[in-house]
Structure 1
Amino acid sequence: MKNNVYNIIHHGAVDGVTGSCHELNIAGKDGILVDCGLFQGEEKSMDGAGANQLEIEFPIEHIRALVVTHCHIDHVGRIPYLLAAGFEGPIICTIPTAKLLPLILEDALHIGVTKNKSLIDRFLKIIEERIVAVEYGKWHDIALTAKGKELKIKFSPAGHVIGSAYVECELQEKKNTHQILFSGDLGATHTPILISPNAPKGTDVLILESTYGDKNHKGRKERREVLKSIIEHCFRDRGVVIIPAFSIGRTQELLYEFEHIIHEFGENKAHDKGNWEDVEVVIDSPLANNFTEVYKTLRDYWDYEAQDRIKEGRHPLAFDQMTTIGDHEEHLSTVKYLKKTARPTIVIAASGMCTGGRVVNYLKSLLDDSRTDVVFVGYQSYGTPGRDIQKYGPRNGYVELDGKRYDINAQVYTLRGYSAHADQEGLLNFVRDMEKKPKEIRLVHGDDRTKRAFKEVLEKEFPNIEILIP
């Protein structure tokens, strides 16, 4: 849909599912960015940015604001580089995201930029000064320099992680109103803890994620049963269950589900030497522990089911069988202990795609043990160690971690039903439920095969909508 008023430019999440960064450019004089995330694996942007090229090389002088849909690293991880490039505008996000964003950026800076605490503290002070927290459902004006044009945005729950949102942009120009919607990452229906997304009344242009545009997930009850049966089978192997998971979102959802399984089946056998109420769930990620504490303070944003469990006296994110690992020495001693004993234990550790973090030490120590089980509960990008373990593990292949080969004798499972992303039906329903259908849908945040398959499905159901793959 061509026009002289605005243009949409994609600086990331077009060659895969990471590095989300999209620009609403208004007549070349003003603009906003929606997200500014890190790339993982082999994925790159159209301007050559990638995991090894993080500097911002596209023009930003006209960018008036950064709008953040949620604080996963693939949506916010390049913010330090955006500021280094000279961006001086506000960082606009929801109230929960405003609480979580400094935590994830502090971690990203410490791992990828500098260990200098005073530099990190200075940067975080700048971030906190720039953050503008906006309530869901409230329109927020963005100042433009161009005369005769007005822009406002509104956040609505996306159901992906706490604080996540899709963004409606309304651009007023003379007597014309233009509506552009950025989906961010839409969550699966009935995701634990989170309010499910509801579609808006409509839009002119929809920039839509397509991570699982070619697949449908299992239902909530069914996937919980699958999770329970996999863990029981893993414990029969008498080894450690390693679940690589993102620190924010997936870790808290898994805790919520394990608490429910233990509450419901506590006296039932989980393995031959213990019941479910004896199962130990280890969270080995300081960042995940911090996020979990923040999640507890954001109960007003939990769904009704989660709030009802609190009223019943249950503690979905802090139950008796849960152990958190603190400093690095405790982490190393835990890895050493589990390697020596192979005691049946569920370990949830970051990162979700095994590109770094504490999960790597567990994998290095335990992948060659046939009693170990690795359970993937999220998407694994091309070029990541997680993708290699997922692909070559069932063939007893190997994976490279920190430049060294490790044989995979562990059992490898993929539990697709626990994706935090909407499936094909969920994405279709988002469009179906709009009273005013978009004239154009742009598919981003998906691999090429998935986008092409989803494009065909959309074209068949909505023949009057132009479907584009940037």
Structure 2
Amino acid sequence: MSIELQILGAANEVTGSCHLLKVGEYRILLDCGLIQGSRQEEARNSAPFPFDPKTLDAVILSHAHIDHSGRLPLLVKQGFRGDIYTHKATADLCRIMLRDAAYLNEKDARLENRKRERKGLKRVEPLYTVQEAEAVFAHFQPLDYAERVEILPRVAVRLSDAGHILGSAIVELWLHSDKQDRKLVFSGDLGRSGMPVLEDPAMIKHADMVLMESTYGDRLHRRWEDTLAEMASLLQAVTAKQGNILIPAFSVGRTQEILYLFAKYYDEWGLSRWHIFLDSPMAIEATEVYARNCELFDDESSQLWREHRITPMLPNLRFTPTPEESMRINQIHSGAIIIAGSGMCNGGRIRHHLKHNAWRRDCHILISGFQARGTLGRALVDGAKHIRLWGETIRVAAQVHTIGGLSAHADQAGLSHWYAQFEHRPPVVLVHGEPTAKAALAAHLRHSLSAPVHLPTYGETLCL
């Protein structure tokens, strides 16, 4: 009886995480993420799965980000009837994120169908509906960190803190066949050591194969102290000139980190002079989930959150959940810090704020996270002079700042350090990275650690 791992997503890209593990007659899916990027890339989400969802026995979900969880509704819609094992905080966040993704699917379909009806074209269906997203929730089997559970007769799993977002997990899998026992470790998305709010990624010592992300495998992040200094300098410089600051931020993880930093450095960064808006219903809900799970924070952040919460420490922070409140923000031409989704500017309210602000010379756009190829955020980072929003061309006169040190992903040094803790240098399979990042990390691991590295292609099957 064989043990095999098939790479069915994020082979040479960052989004769409999906890997099929076969242990004899059992089938386990690691992640089931949405493909994000250009329209052409996102169209691949509608393609049939390269397996029959009815044949799956279980899913193990590393964390809630939509590029890891976003196709779960399609999986259930097409016949999956098993359990989804994940950390309890991830289950809570997925209830928010999958509903939001479904709502946007339905909204986009409605808008597209209005255009199609006027042209006499065939109507389109949303990728999945809110009702179909909610059908996923009954399948969740929440786990705690460090809890080893036998999920199938030949498969045991344990989750450890990946330090990426709340509830993010490194997945350890003990696999038993008639001839051999094997241990697979899936990194999920690894966070950075020493970052605020969350604990550092857990270190694992034993594995027969390591499936590891490589998002920032080709670069080193700025030192955390330099990032804080850069944030302080930027806010002081912009305060002198006024204007607005737009912060496209991932609703889960990045938003809460930014709020924490704003609270901690409120006086030092002169934030009392600003009106701060959290303009994302999903981010508002996610922040409440973070507050309910502050025992998962590092010691300093946990104490600060328990004693003060975020809102009292940021007296000028305003939540704007309704569309009407969001639209009123665009009447402010100066003195507003607007935190809004989506993090890659491919949807959400940040696009409306870009329409009203990107053409202003006194506007500043603060990019705080990874921007995938084909996204509007990537275009801004790459220096686009014009962007298209709802059929209108908008001149980009705003100053675009990339604060790379805020990344929630480990850089090359962090990834290398995490892998170096494994004894006997097990084979490492790199996924979840663009080709240049994967190649650079592979070369580094081979040179510095003599690691046996493999760069898989889509659909490739590896034998354990």
TM-score where L is the length of structure 1: 0.88
For residue 253 of structure 1, what is the aligned residue in structure 2?
Answer: 257
Contact map agreement 2:278 2:318 (CA 8 A) in 1: yes
Spell out the pairing of 1:45-124 with structure 2 (5 A cutoff). Answer: 50-60=42-52, 61-113=54-106, 122-123=131-132
Aligned to 2:217, what secondary structure does the other structure show? coil
Spell out the pairing of 1:197-216 with structure 2 (5 A cutoff). Answer: 197-216=201-220
Structure 2 portions without partners, runs of 5+: 111-127, 458-464
Contact map agreement 1:237 1:372 (CA 8 A) in 2: no
| One of 165, 171, 174 as aligned partner of 2:169 | 165
For residue 147 of structure 1, what is the aligned residue in structure 2?
Answer: none
> For each residue in 1:222-265, what CA deviation from the matched residue of structure 2 results, as whole angstroms up to 9, or x when unmatched?
211211211222223311100100100000000001111115x2
CA distance in 2, matches of 1:301, 1:5: 37
1:380 aligns with 2:380: no
Spell out the pairing of 1:40-439 with structure 2 (5 A cutoff). Answer: 40-42=36-38, 50-60=42-52, 61-113=54-106, 122-123=131-132, 126-143=135-152, 150-174=154-178, 176-263=180-267, 265=268, 275-310=270-305, 313-316=307-310, 319-335=314-330, 337-338=331-332, 342-393=333-384, 397-438=385-426
1:467 aligns with 2:458: no
1:450 aligns with 2:437: yes
CA distance in 1, matches of 2:303, 2:254: 21
CA distance in 1, matches of 2:369, 2:144: 29
Q: CA deviation at 1:375?
A: 0.7
Residue identity in the other structure for 1:374: I
Contact map agreement 1:40 1:51 (CA 8 A) in 2: no
Contact map agreement 2:243 2:335 (CA 8 A) in 1: yes
Residue identity in the other structure for 2:45: Q
Contact map agreement 1:180 1:206 (CA 8 A) in 2: yes
CA distance in 2, matches of 1:289, 1:407: 30
Q: CA deviation at 1:181?
A: 1.1
Contact map agreement 2:7 2:456 (CA 8 A) in 1: no
Contact map agreement 2:342 2:348 (CA 8 A) in 1: yes
| One of 11, 14, 28 as aligned partner of 2:11 | 14
Structure 1 portions without partners, runs of 5+: 145-149
CA distance in 2, matches of 1:317, 1:66: 37
CA distance in 1, matches of 2:11, 2:182: 24
Contact map agreement 1:18 1:43 (CA 8 A) in 2: no
Aligned-residue RMSD, C-alpha: 2.1
Contact map agreement 2:279 2:319 (CA 8 A) in 1: yes
For residue 34 of structure 1, what is the aligned residue in structure 2?
Answer: 30
Flag the structure with more relative contact order, 1 or 2, with Cα contacts below 8 A and sequence separation at least 6. Answer: 2
Residue identity in the other structure for 2:216: Y
CA distance in 1, matches of 2:311, 2:33: 28
What percentage of aligned pairs have identical amino acids? 32
Alignment: residue pair count: 437
Q: CA deviation at 1:362?
A: 0.3
Aligned to 2:45, what secondary structure does the other structure show? coil
Contact map agreement 1:157 1:198 (CA 8 A) in 2: yes
Residue identity in the other structure for 1:301: L
Residue identity in the other structure for 1:135: D
CA distance in 1, matches of 2:28, 2:376: 34
CA distance in 1, matches of 2:84, 2:92: 13
CA distance in 2, matches of 1:424, 1:344: 37
